[in-house]
Structure formats: structure tokens, C-alpha cells
Amino acid sequence: MDFKKAAPATDKTIAGAATCRQCHQQVSDAYLQNPHQQTSHAVTDTKLMDNSLPHLSVYAFDEHFKVKVEQRNGFVYQVAYNDGIETIARRFDISFGSGEKAVTYGTWQGDQLKQLPLSYFKQVKSWVNSPGFPQNTAHFSRTIDVRCMECHSSFTDRKIVQDGPLKVKEELVKGSVVYGIDCERCHGPAGKHVEFHLEHPQAKVAKYIALYQTLTRKQKTDACATCHGGNDMEILKSIFAFKPGDDLHDYYSNATGNNAKKVLDVHGNQSGMLAESKCFIQSKTMDCSSCHRTHENLKGNLTSYTQRCISCHATIKHSALTLKNAVVKTNCIDCHMPEQVSGVISFQQAGKTDISAYKLRTHKIGIYH
């Protein structure tokens, strides 16, 4: 795709992911499979993620009240029924989540985005009541605000409008949503970089783009912690403006590191948990890229992750008892980064009183028994 410039690019000019591919083909192609790129998209037909989802299914809140997932005139809807009588039908418009663990959906109501009552939970392969929703009735009115979009989209514009004499409400600008997390969310606006390299095709040294290898460890982890540093901080300004090299404390007050006493959750706070690990503290060099290849999809490739552990731990003093375990050399992960239950997210299944746990890897690397 062409990069058409209306005016000379500035530090804030976004080039768009499509422009990167002409010079960074390999990275761009690999990245299409990365969960970041897949973490949100528009639902424009009857396909939800992939076709393995149970389209025609019913979630019964009780014997009277049910929500069905139905196909109608080329789209998919969540339809509520009370004693068999339809009460409300809302279209699937946006999906959130690559589907690794769960997918939840938004529906447009004017310029507000509302979360649909049913989410898909991969672990139990079925529709569940969306996390945090009331147990006994389907809710169609919970607003998905710009905050979700800050972590799950590349850009979404919003406006604050008057809602009655004393109230204001937030509206999202529907047409402004750029789905998925694209290159410039992690690399910063690259308009000047693109402009320069298009004009100087012979230049082999990168210009006008942050060089990760020159950043401090804090700057590197901050660039990930914008979205992986928890969701319980006070927001000072939108992280849509965050560029590599920036200090997270300018965006969040009490960002991880400031508040030792808070309980860290395995959901959404990988940087906080990692910061408590001996590996992180004592190595002084470990950052997210010590283990993750941010352009690829290494999901489930525990052998590859194990290689990363061994790169620092060539000799380990395991006891004879531990060494009896056959996987000791091939899978460090299940013992030292076990899955733990999130305290903030869980799912309600139809007809069950207990809730389904939502498990994630702990990033507090340590000795667990």
C-alpha cells in the first residue's frame, strides 16, 4: 500500500500497519498470527472467530429466561426470551480476545458500545455468562468504554457528550476503530521513519524510530506494562499516546512498582508479577523479550520457552526427588510458572452454581510445590 503524505510527517504521524510490510515483510507476515494482532476485530458476517463455535446454542438463566445465539439475515445476534417471547435482540459487532482463552463481544447502540451477555469460554467450549454480569438475568446495557479499546485495539477515538443537564457520557467514534494491536502501538508513530526510508531507499540504518536495544530495562518493560501492568491504576492520560522510551508513571499513578502491598493478579499483571521474581531482580537484565518473541506466536511451545530458562540456568541444583521427574530437562514452565486461578475474572456456566476458574501462568517465577 502507498504511504500518501498530505503534509510532512511529524513525531505523531501514524503510518498504518500496511505500510510497514513493504520494507519489513518477514516481521509483518509472522505478526499476522500473533494474538496481539487478533485481539479485536469487526464481526461482519455469521462467522465468529472460527466455525468451531457452537452457533446455535442457548444459555438458560432459569426456566423462564434464556438467551440464544441466532443467525438472522447474514449476521449473528444474541436474543433474549422470557417464557418463549422475544424481549431483545442485539447484533454481534466486535469481538474481543484472540480466542486463546475467551472471547467476549460488543454491540453498537448508537455511538456506544455495549457488552453482550454471553461470552465464549474456550476451556469449557461453551457460551458462558460474561464475567462480572449478574447471575440471574441477561444484561445488555453494560458499556464497553475506551479503556478496553486502549488495550485491545490500535486506536479508537471518543467524545464526551452531554447526557441530561448534569451528566455527561462517553461515546466512541464508530468509524475510528483500528482493530487489533498494530506495529505502532509498540514502536510508536512511524510516519517520519517511513517518509525518510521511502525517500532514502539506500539508507540501511533505521532513522526516526525508537531502538529497543538502546532503551533501559525499565523503559522496555514499561512499553509492555502499559497493557500488562494491571488494570487497577488511576489513569492520568490515555495510553494511546504511549511511545517506547516514555515513563509509565506519566500515564498511570501507582503503576506497578509504586505500591508493594497490592495483591497482584495473574490476569493482566505479568510485569508486576515478574518484578517479584528472583530471576528478574538478580539477573538485572531480564525483560519480557528474554522469553517472548513479540512478533511470533509461540503459544504452547514450552520447549522453546524452556530453552530461554536454560540460557541463564546452565547448572541447577535440583534434588534427587525432583530429578526423578522425567520432564525436568524439557519443561521448566509447569513447575516454576504454574497456572494459577485469577481472582478478578471467572465464568458462570448455565445450570451450575459454582463458577469456572480462569487460569493463567504466574509470572512470579519461583519454587512451587
192 scored as a contact of ligand HEC (CB under 6 A): no
In the complex, least distance from residue 87 CB atom to ligand HEC, rounded to whole angstroms: 23
9 scored as a contact of ligand HEC (CB under 6 A): no
Q: Smaller CB distance to ligand HEC: residue 10 or 285?
A: 285
Residue-wise over 156-185: b if at least 16 C-beta within 10 A, else e?
A: bebeeeeeeeeeeebbbeeeebbbbbbbbb
Alpha carbon of 349 to those of 65, 91, 344, 357: distances in Å? 14, 22, 17, 11
35 scored as a contact of ligand HEC (CB under 6 A): yes
| Residue whose C-alpha cell is 512451587 | 368
In the complex, least distance from residue 13 CB atom to ligand HEC, rounded to whole angstroms: 10
Residue 69 buriedness (CB in 10 A; 0-12 / 13-18 / 19+): buried
316 scored as a contact of ligand HEC (CB under 6 A): yes
Pull the grid cell for residue 14: 501514524
Q: Smaller CB distance to ligand HEC: residue 173 or 203?
A: 203
113 scored as a contact of ligand HEC (CB under 6 A): no
- Binding characters for ligand HEC, 223-242, by CB under 6 A (x = yes): xx-xxx--x-----------
Q: Map residue 158 onto helix, strand or coil.
A: strand
Judged by CB under 6 A, the residue of 235, 241, 310, 357 near ligand HEC is: 310
In the complex, least distance from residue 165 CB atom to ligand HEC, rounded to whole angstroms: 28
49 scored as a contact of ligand HEC (CB under 6 A): no
Judged by CB under 6 A, the residue of 11, 62, 100, 163 near ligand HEC is: 100
Among the listed ranges 64-72, 79-87, 249-257, 334-342, the one in contact with ligand HEC (CB under 6 A) is: 334-342
Q: Smaller CB distance to ligand HEC: residue 81 or 127?
A: 127
Q: Map residue 25 onto helix, strand or coil.
A: helix
Judged by CB under 6 A, the residue of 69, 172, 183, 255 near ligand HEC is: 183
Q: Smaller CB distance to ligand HEC: residue 80 or 104?
A: 104
Q: DSSP characters for 288-334?
A: GGGT--TTS--TT-HHHHHHHHHHH-SS----HHHHTSTTTTT--HH
Alpha carbon of 190 to those of 183, 207, 209, 240: distances in Å? 9, 10, 6, 14
Site for ligand HEC in 56-95 (CB under 6 A): none
In the complex, least distance from residue 39 CB atom to ligand HEC, rounded to whole angstroms: 4
Among the listed ranges 71-79, 164-172, 188-196, 245-253, the one in contact with ligand HEC (CB under 6 A) is: 188-196
197 scored as a contact of ligand HEC (CB under 6 A): yes
Number of chain residues interacting with ligand HEC (CB under 6 A):
107
Largest CA distance in the chain: 72
From first CA to last CA, the distance across the chain in angstroms is 53
Q: DSSP characters for 167-234?
A: -EEEEE-GGG-EEB--HHHHH---HHHHHHHHH-TT--S--SS--GGGS-HHHHHHHHHHHHS-S-SE
Q: Smaller CB distance to ligand HEC: residue 82 or 245?
A: 245
Alpha carbon of 30 to those of 191, 296, 347: distances in Å? 22, 6, 32
Among the listed ranges 15-23, 68-76, 79-87, 159-167, the one in contact with ligand HEC (CB under 6 A) is: 15-23
Please tell me the distance from the alpha carbon of residue 86 to that of residue 68, in angstroms, as a whole number: 10
Site for ligand HEC in 242-301 (CB under 6 A): 267-268, 270-271, 274, 278-279, 282-283, 285-286, 288-295, 297-300
Residue 208 buriedness (CB in 10 A; 0-12 / 13-18 / 19+): middle
Q: Smaller CB distance to ligand HEC: residue 90 or 185?
A: 185
